[in-house]
Amino acid sequence: MKVLVLGSGVIGVASAYYLAKAGHEVTVVDRQPAPALETSYANAGEVSPGYSAPWAGPGVPVKAVKWLLMKHGPLVVRPRLDPAMWVWMAQMLANCTSARYAVNKARMVRLAEYSRDLLRALRAETGIAYDERSRGTLQLFREAAQLEATAKDAAILAESGVPYEVLDVEGCIRAEPALARVREKFVGGFRLPDDETGDCHLFTQKLAALCADMGVVFRQGVNIKALSVEGGRLAGASTDAGFLTADAYVLALGSFSPLLLRPLGLSIPVYPVKGYSITAPVVDEAAAPVSTVMDETYKVAITRLGDRIRVGGTAEVCGYDMTLRPARRATLDHSVGDLFPDGGDLTKASFWCGLRPMTPDGTPVIGPTRLSNLYLNTGHGTLGWTMACGSGRVIADIVGGRKAEIETADLAMSRYS
């Protein structure tokens, strides 16, 4: 079939790759001049199936109040006259139960594990390189209560067959030797040895080049204005480069997906939650992280990407506002400076923000719509990089009428109906 993929972030490009590999004629359209220049550009760099978990969980409403009052809190809410914001927040609160958390985490881990396996296969098949490392993720706890709260995650991971380690201070230092310099700052950790890291932007651009070699056409710098419907099908996409048509359409526009769907009478609870990152050059190898360290107190990820340290975090609920706020950078600086004070040069760090497309239950929306030729691949939140290859393969299978290799029914938008 002729397939039009809307969006050239990591999700859109991964979709294009697997669609092309299945034999389809694929065109990718995006407003940016090159792939991966928005949310995929400078994310935290984690490929973390084991750390895949919904933000909504038991105890989160109480924690959220605490976070809002912290100087370096991980959550910021800037109220707006936007009904979508308040509906999304209410739906998220409704998912803050033990039962919903278990269901949501289990399906997120299922997709993320599958995606990680496909990424490894892709790497072996193509030799693609993107500052990748396979050294695991260490969730670091500054308080004993945080360590004790890992029991529910451990049970779900064990049920899913995901290896994990509960570590004391010395175990954390064995995993991340630079932490020996600040051993008094933490009490233990939770390590996921099968997790990986890598530069999502670099990966997406290299994967796009592989796609182009397979015949995929990239139409960058093209604004998508609206989608048109005729007879229960999508007739095409209106763009500033003309009306584009195809046999099937995959919408992979992240936080902007609901804006194109709404005029069609289609509603998905995807809302932007802004995240920030800094990227600093490594100045002392021995003082820098070897993989990813998650600072649980501040919900900040500190990741080694080649000769750089990427520090990502903050959940800022503020609509589509892309303002770079110095207070948010201060939180990132504080976390990395506290745990790896001599690892990178923060005076030379770049500062970035992006809009994560979040769903209330944490699970992306992947699958068909009531329009017979329109498919969704969006709503991955903080896990687009982790879930990209799996999501791309799943949507390619669904578009092609093949049975996916994992269960996909509970990923579709129909779960909200």
Token pair of 55 as six digits: 């933000």
15 is in an annotated binding site: yes
Does 354 show up as a binding residue in the annotation? no
According to the annotation, is 122 in a ligand binding site?
Answer: no
Residue 3 annotated in ligand binding: yes
Q: Strand 137-141 and strand 188-192: pairing?
A: antiparallel
114 is known to lie in a ligand binding site: no
Residue 16, annotated ligand binder?
Answer: yes
250 marked as binding residue: no
9 annotated to bind ligand? yes
Per-residue burial over 388-398, b = 16 or more CB atoms within 10 Å of its CB, e = otherwise: bbbbbbbbbbb
Residue boundaries of the structural domains of the chain: 2-41+202-269+362-416, 48-96+132-197+271-358
Supply the pLDDT for residue 154: 86
pLDDT at 140: 97
CA distance 154 to 299: 19
51 is in an annotated binding site: no
Confidence at residue 366, expressed as pLDDT on a 0 to 100 scale: 98
What are residue 374's phi and psi, to 5 degrees? -110, 130
**pLDDT tens per residue across all 417 residues of the chain:** 999 999 999 999 999 999 999 999 999 999 999 999 999 999 999 999 988 889 898 888 888 888 888 888 888 999 998 999 999 999 999 999 999 999 999 999 999 999 999 999 999 999 999 999 999 999 999 999 998 888 878 888 888 788 999 999 999 999 999 999 999 999 999 999 999 999 999 999 999 999 999 999 999 999 999 999 999 999 999 999 999 999 999 999 999 999 999 999 999 999 999 999 999 999 999 999 999 999 999 999 999 999 999 999 999 999 999 999 999 999 999 999 999 999 999 999 999 999 999 999 999 999 999 999 999 999 999 999 999 999 999 999 999 999 999 999 999 998 886
CB 411 within 8 A of CB 365: yes
Could you list the beta-strand ranges (E) of 252-360.
Answer: 271-281, 292-295, 300-305, 308-317, 350-358
Q: Is 391 annotated as a binding residue?
A: no
Rounded to two decimals, the pTM is 0.95
CATH 3.50.50.60 fits 2-41+202-269+362-416, yes or no: yes
Has 12 been labeled as part of a binding site? yes
Q: Is 306 marked as binding a ligand?
A: no
CB 328, CB 76: distance < 8 Å? yes
Which one is the CATH code of 48-96+132-197+271-358: 1.10.10.10, 3.30.9.10, 3.30.460.10, 3.30.420.10? 3.30.9.10
Coil, strand, or helix at residue 245? coil
7 annotated ligand-binding residue: yes
